[in-house]
Amino acid sequence: MAALSRPSQTTLTALIAEYGWIAKDILEALNDLNSILKAWDIECVPPIGEYGLDDVRIVRRATNVDPLELTVADLARGEGAGLEFKESLVLDVKKHVLGKQPIERCFSNEVINACLKTVAAYLNGTGGTLLVGVADDGSVVGLEREFALIPGSNKRDFDEWELFFRSMIEKSFHNGRSISASVQINRVNHEQGIVARVVTGPRRELCVMKASDGDKLFVRTGNRTLSVSLADFEQFFSVEKKYL
pLDDT in tens, 162-202: 999 999 999 999 989 888 888 999 999 999 999 999 999 88
In a domain, 200, yes or no: yes
CA–CA gap between residue 133 and residue 214 (Å, rounded): 30
Amino acid occupying residue 213: D
Task: Clarify whether residues 123 and 203 are in a common domain.
Answer: yes
For residue 205, name the pLDDT band (cuts at 50, 70, 90): confident
Q: Which residues, other chains included, contact 244 with Cβ-Cβ below 8 Å and sequence gap of 6+?
A: 174, 175, 205, 206, 207, 208
Task: Clarify whether residues 52 and 71 are in a common domain.
Answer: no
Task: Clarify whether residues 130 and 25 are in a common domain.
Answer: no
Q: CB–CB of 26/169 below 8 Å?
A: no
Question: Tens of pLDDT along 66-93?
Answer: 889 989 999 999 999 999 999 999 999 9
Task: Clarify whether residues 174 and 224 are in a common domain.
Answer: yes
Helix (H) or strand (E) holding 27: helix 26-39
In a domain, 2, yes or no: no
Task: Clarify whether residues 55 and 86 are in a common domain.
Answer: no
Report the CATH number that the domain containing residue 160 is assigned in CATH. Answer: 3.30.950.30
CA–CA gap between residue 148 and residue 48 (Å, rounded): 39
Region for residue 240 given its phi and psi (left: phi exceeds 0; alpha: psi -120 to 50; beta: otherwise): alpha
In a domain, 227, yes or no: yes
In a domain, 243, yes or no: no
In a domain, 242, yes or no: no
- 3-state SS, residue 219: strand
Task: Clarify whether residues 140 and 186 are in a common domain.
Answer: yes
- What residue numbers bound the domain in which 163 lies? 67-236
For residue 243, name the pLDDT band (cuts at 50, 70, 90): very low
Q: Which residues, other chains included, contact 83 with Cβ-Cβ below 8 Å and sequence gap of 6+?
A: 74, 77, 128, 129, 130, 131
Task: Clarify whether residues 45 and 77 are in a common domain.
Answer: no
Q: For residue 46, is the peptide bond before it cis, meaning its omega torsion is within 30 degrees of 0?
A: yes
Task: Clarify whether residues 155 and 193 are in a common domain.
Answer: yes
Please provide residue 144's backbone torsions phi and psi, each rounded to the nearest 5 degrees.
Answer: -55, -40
In a domain, 51, yes or no: yes
Task: Clarify whether residues 168 and 56 are in a common domain.
Answer: no
CA–CA gap between residue 159 and residue 87 (Å, rounded): 18
In a domain, 135, yes or no: yes
Task: Clarify whether residues 45 and 116 are in a common domain.
Answer: no
Q: Which residues, other chains included, contact 108 with Cβ-Cβ below 8 Å and sequence gap of 6+?
A: 90, 91, 92, 95
Task: Clarify whether residues 125 and 44 are in a common domain.
Answer: no
Specify the pTM.
0.78
Q: How many domains does the chain divide into?
A: 2
